[in-house]
Structure 1
Amino acid sequence: MVRRQRLRQRRAAVAAVAVLGLGAALLAGCSGNNDSDGSSSSTSKAVDLSVLGDKKPATGAPVKIGLFNIEGGTAVDSPEIGDGARAAADYANEYLGGLGGHKIEIVRCGDKGDGASAAACANKFVQARVAAVVVGQPATADQIVPVIQGAKIPWISASPSAPTEFAYPGATFFSSGFLGLLASQAVYAKQKGWKRVTMLGTENPQLVATLNSIGKPLFKGQGVTLDFVPVPHGTADAGPQVTAATQSKPDALVIAADAAGCQAVFSAMTTLGATQPKMVNNACVAQPVVDAVGEAGIDKTVLFMSGDPVGDHEEAQLYRAIMQQYAPDVEETGGITPLGYQSMLGFVRALNADSATSGDVTPETVTAAIKKAKNLPLPMGNGETFSCDVTQFPVPTIKATICNSKYFVTTYSGTKAGPYETVDAAAAFRG
């Protein structure tokens, strides 16, 4: 019986991969600079540059690495994510010997949120003969990945968001994206003993399809009922939606929206006296949201992230030191900013763990090195590791390699985030 139930869950997840492209919008807080993690922003922490270690500059021939990120467009523009990736590369060149002694030469190209920019970036990377493409946050992955796959160039990212990314065997991820977010929230709900959870999400056919084919089966597998109440895009007063969501007296809410949608829901909850915990992504704790709704609105918010950039552990300190040293103009270093950093530093660590990297760095040698990566420190991982020798996320028909299945979770008391704990998203699929 249990095996049949797990099999149904896996089939549901596989069937819904085709609609997981909405993950980019939800995990990135849609477009724009929703890159603050509220009052616990890493800019408020003292930075100790000694954690950078001893210098070991790269002296070998340069190796070209593509950097693809949402920047330069009118609707989508988050250059700070790419700046985080470049900062990690600069740190590697000065302190880690680059890639096996080779200096990393960044070939940066902006995803402007349209097919034309994606095509231009694909051509730029192919013509430059990059050894890999490291991704910050893409908006048009489905337009560029087929070209990258055709050229057999490795695609390295912190978090998958598009169907083509899941389907490319040459893609590697250091987190599990929107699929993992849903799974980790289901596991967390079970751990808390919650029996009913309601999601308030942006009114979107893709989101509805994903919830029906993935979200509800995952939560049901954890013994939790998941309901859904749509919130029309641009809603300023979410009172009717919050009223509908709380009628069944759920133990908690999930909010899947951009910053404006989160603000509308938080404000309505305060007005209506709804006090349920609310599981969110980083868009909901963007500084403008925190400023607008205050302590009452943010209290009991449970934030899910792919890493912990604000803690006192060594990896968080290293992140802040690297950003201070190599990207000092980036004012807010929380939220989605760390995605590029995590992609680049994870990539560097995976390659430098293989002694063969000291030779020619090509798409072929990059792929081989990444497949050997095992038990390496996860950037901002608070002691967690990543392994790419086998996928850590057990959905058989996902062809990409997911090197880490953990999500980092913190609960706000007022506007202050508590310590981070880890939740294993893959537990939702294990029999």
Structure 2
Amino acid sequence: MSTLSALVLLAAGCGSSGSDDTSSTSGSGGTSTANAATVLGPVNKAAGAPVKIGLISDGKGPSSDTSIEGPVTEATVKYLNERKGGIAGRPIQLVRCETQNDAAKATDCGNQMVEEKVAAVVVGQSSVADAAWQPVHAAHVPFFVYAANTASLLTDPTSTFSLGDPTAQVRAAVDLAKSNGLKKVTAIVIDVPPALGSFKADGPKIASEAGVQLTLLPVPLGTADMSPQLQKLAGSDSAAFILGSEGFCIAALNGLRTVGFTGPVGAIGICASDAIRKAVTGGLKGTSIVGTVPFGTDNPSTRLYDAVLSTYGKSVDPNSVTGLSMFMTFSGFQTAVAGLKGDVTPAAVTSAIRSMPESELPASGGQKFQCSGKLEPNYPAVCLRGALTTKLDDKGKPTDYKVLATS
């Protein structure tokens, strides 16, 4: 995924780079084959005529590689069809299309889904989701996406559903200060519009409601020495939250240490990559990381993911934060339509998702979601508020996860 897309999409995993498909930390504790059946739950096979569901993925493009989303979804569909009754009791038939990060190909994928008469489209971590969305939306087919990254998707109150909260980074920054008994936090943000957007639009209100003073500090891309900009942060009477690329994170973290900042530090998941662990003076111990999936630790979410792959996708690498994010997204879609009965049409799917009860999002570390359109008034497509946070240990690895905010 490109740097800009990674910022917009929050950097999926806590404690992973977000730009690499794999991490040196295993995605799970290694669920054994003997335990997999218990973790997966009882057999509940789907039957009858299949239901077509589209999967649009960027796949392997010139600047990113999310090709693991396809095989992960294939394994997920097998699991849902055998253990979760598919959709409305009928088996899911996957219709796949890849964009290669090309907007024109994304439009073609959207048109293909309409021509195939799918009942819904599910999208992973795509930098060209808007182009795929346009023909799908025009045909009134529901569009269920890992994280919407444009205003057109986020503000659609009809048939668009996003698991990514555009305010999550702001909430994480504010929570970092509040949970440490502080009244101030400075957000050190790469100076590009997508990264600054929510801090400018939503930050003042969220911070005010929490009783925290939020200061936004934009820093130009490519700034190697941030000491001059960070000098006023010396001391420990405030928190600092970092949002940027790997190089940006390194400069910000080293800059904070150079100026003598001793307060709590938070950042998005991309700031906890292996490269950053090696490049930051003093390491990353104690840094709070925000992300969307509980990658890198042994927990119920990663055990479920591991069991699905060991049973239905043995050739799929389990050590991919992108793969776990895709599993969460497609399983979340199936959970959202759990109440659907009768004919599985686009209109019926949309209605079922809009009226779903608040439910736990599979493989999300305990986060709950609901697609009522009311969670974030400015973003009616958003189905989940907040994210996950974890503190890094002395090796720069994630520890226990905490759910940040609730739906």
Scaled by the length of structure 1, the TM-score of the pair is: 0.80
Q: Look up the SS of the partner of 1:230 in the other structure.
A: strand
1:131 correspondence with 2:119: yes
Which of 372, 388, 394 is equivalent to 1:408?
388
Q: What whole-Å deviation, never above 9, does each CA across 1:308-365 have from its counterpart, x for those lacking one?
A: 34555533321222233344444464544422211110111222333x1xx3322112
Question: Following the alignment from structure 1 to structure 2, what is the Cα–Cα distance between the partners of residues 176 and 25?
Answer: 7
Q: For residues 25 and 312 of structure 1, do their structure 2 counterparts lie closer, same or farther at Cα, with a shift above 3 Å needed?
A: closer
Report the counterpart of residue 288 of structure 2 in structure 1. Answer: 302
Counterparts of 1:335-354 in structure 2, within 5 Å, are 335-354=321-340
Q: Look up the SS of the partner of 1:99 in the other structure.
A: coil
Contact 2:12 2:293 survives alignment (8 Å): no
Question: Following the alignment from structure 1 to structure 2, what is the Cα–Cα distance between the partners of residues 306 and 376?
Answer: 16
Q: For residues 82 and 336 of structure 1, do their structure 2 counterparts lie closer, same or farther at Cα, with a shift above 3 Å needed?
A: same
Contact 2:286 2:391 survives alignment (8 Å): yes
> Residue 343 of structure 1 aligns to which amino acid in structure 2?
T
Report the counterpart of residue 171 of structure 1 in structure 2. Answer: 160
Which of 7, 17, 20 is equivalent to 1:34?
20
Question: Following the alignment from structure 2 to structure 1, what is the Cα–Cα distance between the partners of residues 110 and 358?
Answer: 32
Report the counterpart of residue 267 of structure 2 in structure 1. Answer: 280
Q: For residues 281 and 352 of structure 1, do their structure 2 counterparts lie closer, same or farther at Cα, with a shift above 3 Å needed?
A: same
> Residue 321 of structure 1 aligns to which amino acid in structure 2?
A
1:377 correspondence with 2:377: no
Report the counterpart of residue 173 of structure 2 in structure 1. Answer: 185
Q: What whole-Å deviation, never above 9, does each CA across 1:395-429 have from its counterpart, x for those lacking one?
A: 1x4332x3332422111122232211122166xxx
1:119 correspondence with 2:107: yes
Contact 2:11 2:18 survives alignment (8 Å): no
Gaps of 5+ in 1: 1-19, 427-431
Question: Following the alignment from structure 2 to structure 1, what is the Cα–Cα distance between the partners of residues 298 and 64?
Answer: 32
Question: Following the alignment from structure 2 to structure 1, what is the Cα–Cα distance between the partners of residues 313 and 260?
Answer: 42
Contact 1:35 1:282 survives alignment (8 Å): no
Q: For residues 69 and 301 of structure 1, do their structure 2 counterparts lie closer, same or farther at Cα, with a shift above 3 Å needed?
A: farther
Report the counterpart of residue 405 of structure 2 in structure 1. Answer: 424
Counterparts of 1:213-224 in structure 2, within 5 Å, are 213-224=201-212
Question: Following the alignment from structure 1 to structure 2, what is the Cα–Cα distance between the partners of residues 214 and 325?
Answer: 43
Q: Which stretch of the first structure deviates more once superposed, 266-275 or 104-113?
A: 266-275
Q: Which stretch of the first structure deviates more once superposed, 184-193 or 108-117?
A: 184-193
Q: For residues 127 and 298 of structure 1, do their structure 2 counterparts lie closer, same or farther at Cα, with a shift above 3 Å needed?
A: same
Deviation (angstroms), 1:366: 0.9
Question: Following the alignment from structure 1 to structure 2, what is the Cα–Cα distance between the partners of residues 327 and 250?
Answer: 50
Q: What whole-Å deviation, never above 9, does each CA across 1:227-262 have from its counterpart, x for those lacking one?
A: 233343344x33436644634755222111123322
Deviation (angstroms), 1:132: 0.5
Question: Following the alignment from structure 2 to structure 1, what is the Cα–Cα distance between the partners of residues 283 and 184?
Answer: 21
Report the counterpart of residue 318 of structure 1 in structure 2. Answer: 304
Question: Following the alignment from structure 2 to structure 1, what is the Cα–Cα distance between the partners of residues 205 and 355?
Answer: 33
Question: Following the alignment from structure 1 to structure 2, what is the Cα–Cα distance between the partners of residues 155 and 71?
Answer: 18
Deviation (angstroms), 1:292: 4.2
Q: What whole-Å deviation, never above 9, does each CA across 1:94-125 have from its counterpart, x for those lacking one?
A: 22232223221222222333321221111111
Contact 1:28 1:34 survives alignment (8 Å): no
Greater per-residue helix proportion:
1
Question: Following the alignment from structure 1 to structure 2, what is the Cα–Cα distance between the partners of residues 240 and 82?
Answer: 43
Contact 1:113 1:140 survives alignment (8 Å): yes
Which of 250, 253, 259 is equivalent to 1:263?
250
Question: Following the alignment from structure 1 to structure 2, what is the Cα–Cα distance between the partners of residues 192 and 272?
Answer: 21
Q: Look up the SS of the partner of 1:361 in the other structure.
A: coil
Q: What whole-Å deviation, never above 9, does each CA across 1:185-233 have from its counterpart, x for those lacking one?
A: 3244323322222222222144345433322442233222222333433
Deviation (angstroms), 1:139: 0.7
Counterparts of 1:91-106 in structure 2, within 5 Å, are 91-106=79-94
Report the counterpart of residue 185 of structure 2 in structure 1. Answer: 197
1:398 correspondence with 2:386: no
Contact 2:297 2:398 survives alignment (8 Å): no
Identity of aligned residues (%): 28
Contact 1:239 1:272 survives alignment (8 Å): no
> Residue 410 of structure 1 aligns to which amino acid in structure 2?
T
> Residue 242 of structure 2 aligns to which amino acid in structure 1?
I
Contact 1:253 1:279 survives alignment (8 Å): yes
Question: Following the alignment from structure 1 to structure 2, what is the Cα–Cα distance between the partners of residues 275 and 34?
Answer: 30
> Residue 286 of structure 2 aligns to which amino acid in structure 1?
K
Scaled by the length of structure 2, the TM-score of the pair is: 0.85
Deviation (angstroms), 1:271: 5.5
> Residue 417 of structure 1 aligns to which amino acid in structure 2?
P
Q: For residues 22 and 96 of structure 1, do their structure 2 counterparts lie closer, same or farther at Cα, with a shift above 3 Å needed?
A: closer
Q: What whole-Å deviation, never above 9, does each CA across 1:159-206 have from its counterpart, x for those lacking one?
A: 332212112221123x34222332343244323322222222222144
Q: For residues 275 and 241 of structure 1, do their structure 2 counterparts lie closer, same or farther at Cα, with a shift above 3 Å needed?
A: same
